[in-house]
Amino acid sequence: MKIFIDTANVKEIEEASTWGIVDGVTTNPSLIAKEGKKLIDVIKKITSLIDGPISAEVSEGKANDMVNEAFKYARLHQNIVIKLPFTIEGLKACKILTSFKIKTNVTLVFSLPQAVLAAKAGATYVSPFLGRLDDLEKTDDSGYKLVKSIHEAFKEYGFTTQIISASIRHVKHVEQSILAGSDVATIPFKVLKDSYYHLLTEKGLQIFAEASKK
Ligand code: G3P
């Protein structure tokens, strides 16, 4: 399973990159806007920090405009993955970019049919959003059930599209992504840090530290 960090904050990526477990980075327009910098400048910096897939999301609405915008990002680095919204235009752009061997990540996916259509459009990755789905359906496992169903459908039909569990709000979503068979979990910095913590680990460390002093 691969772990991506879901942030455009360079300091968070710099720190997490030293932990040795980050395989890639996903950004989105909200995360880029939070940094108050140009997307191209942020993405360029990120490609120098993590040697893995780096998702940059297009903001255009029409397929041809998305493709032209995507070419601008793709030429920045070989690791760039173009994030496309799940729309008819987005999937048309996905098909075109795939024919140019440009990797794609179809995002804002909330149903199994959407995931299968993205796979049929040749998406390299598809990003089902666990947190936002749980929020909408007022449950704590709608996202889990979606990822599990996508994993089973992709296996059944032989789709090679990889699943990136996204919109991860807490460690439980990380656990659900693992159990659902997600290829990747893209995790915000704070949740990634929280994933290291367990009360009994802390308590055990204290006991061992005391013992080693004797
Ligand atoms: O970056 C895509 C996704 O992880 C964003 O999730 O719901 O926290 O904005 P959210």
Q: Does this model's pTM top 0.95?
A: yes
Q: In this predicted structure, what is the pLDDT of residue 38?
A: 96
Bridge partners of 3, per DSSP, are 185
User: In the numeric block, which tokens belong to residue 118?
Assistant: 């993205």
Please choose from 167, 173, 174, 182 the residue to mutate so as to test ligand 1's pocket, defined by most ligand atoms within 8 A of CB. Answer: 167
How far is it, in rounded angstroms, from Cα 132 to Cα 61? 22
pLDDT in tens, 81-124: 999 999 999 999 999 999 999 999 999 999 999 999 999 999 99
| Ligand 1 lined by 28 (C-beta under 6 Å) | yes
Q: In this predicted structure, what is the pLDDT of residue 23?
A: 98
Which CATH architecture best describes the domain 2-213?
Alpha-Beta Barrel (3.20)
Q: In this predicted structure, what is the pLDDT of residue 116?
A: 98
How far is it, in rounded angstroms, from Cα 211 to Cα 209? 5
